[in-house]
Amino acid sequence: MFTDTIRRMPRPQEVALMDTQQLRKTFLVTDLFAPGELRGVFTDLDRLAVGGVVPVKPVELPNHKETGRAFFLERRELGAINVGGAGVVHADGKSFALDRLDCVYLPMGTRSVTFESADGKTPARFYWLSCPAHAAHPAAMMKQKDAAPVALGSPASANQRTIRKYIHTGGLQSCQLVLGFTELAEGSVWNTFPPHTHNRRTEIYFYFDLQEKVLVHLMGEPTATRHLFVQEQQVVLSPAWSIHSGCGTGNYRFIWGMAGENQTFDDMDGVKPADLR
């Protein structure tokens, strides 16, 4: 079930005037998962669509009028990471078995996509992102163990974390989608700090493994910051001009996904903490 409303992003000067409910309605997605359903939201952030599916029984990826095409991935590509029990993604006769934190990439031109759980009592939970594409790359998957880890931060600054890149120029090839996840070490609570922006790409964050913990996601222009309180398996939409940083009441994981003018992971404009307002 796709929502009929496209999430449209306001200008920075409008965000500075928004109240709490307006911010949450615009930038926060809270209900992506429901047993037996596929849910999705279209955005005007580089035409990214974000969604989730809990296939208690097999669930097909439907088309939507917003694609303007005969099938959903006719001119789009899609990446999905499993955050639940073991599952399988079937795509045009190929099957990809994904355990928890494994990733699959499906290219432009993929006609048939079905999500399935290996065990209906412990269903898979696929978080997915899709963006427009103009070139097709091979459908492929990557296991968590095969995603080269990148260690960042330190215990002293409470931001010791490991980044795992799946869909990027050195991993699963795509047209413009970039996808991976970050996990914080025990005792660390800050992600992506000091913050940054990257005007060449927009980004979407999916926070998970928070359990009962909560997280403050910082957003907005560096000199006019705002915040959102985020809970388990909620999504924050981040325009290119906005910082995207967070601090939780304990460690957690988050999936980051990007699309835009380039796929260069470290092409970003850093912000000095002392300059934040």
In the block, tokens 């926060």 appear at: 28
Taking residues 264-270, what's their average pLDDT? Answer: 76
Cα-based distances in Å from 240 to 44, 84, 218: 12, 30, 14
For 86-144, how does the pLDDT look when each residue is reduced to its tens digit (9 = 90+)?
Answer: 999 999 999 999 999 999 999 999 999 999 999 988 999 999 999 999 999 999 999 99
The stretch 246-271 carries a mean pLDDT of 87
Q: How many domains does the chain have?
A: 1
pLDDT digits (tens, 9 = 90+) for 74-87: 999 999 999 999 99
Q: Are 220 and 264 in contact (CB under 8 A)?
A: no
Question: Model confidence over 35-86: pLDDT tens digits?
Answer: 999 999 999 999 999 999 999 999 999 999 999 999 999 999 999 999 999 9
**Tell me, what's the pLDDT at 268?**
78
Within-domain flag for 277: no
Q: Which amino acid is at 85?
A: G
Q: Is residue 127 in a domain?
A: yes
Q: What is the pLDDT of residue 200?
A: 77
* Residue 54 domain boundaries: 12-260
Asked whether residue 274 is assigned to any structural domain, the reply reads: no
Residue 140 belongs to some domain of the structure? yes
In a domain, 275, yes or no: no
Residue at 270 is within a domain = no
Residue 265, pLDDT above cutoff 80: no
- Which one-letter amino acid corresponds to residue 267? D
**CATH number, position 222:** 2.60.120.10
The answer, as to whether pTM is greater than 0.85, is yes
Rounded Cα distance, 62 and 81, in Å: 18
Residue 269 confidence (pLDDT) above 90: no
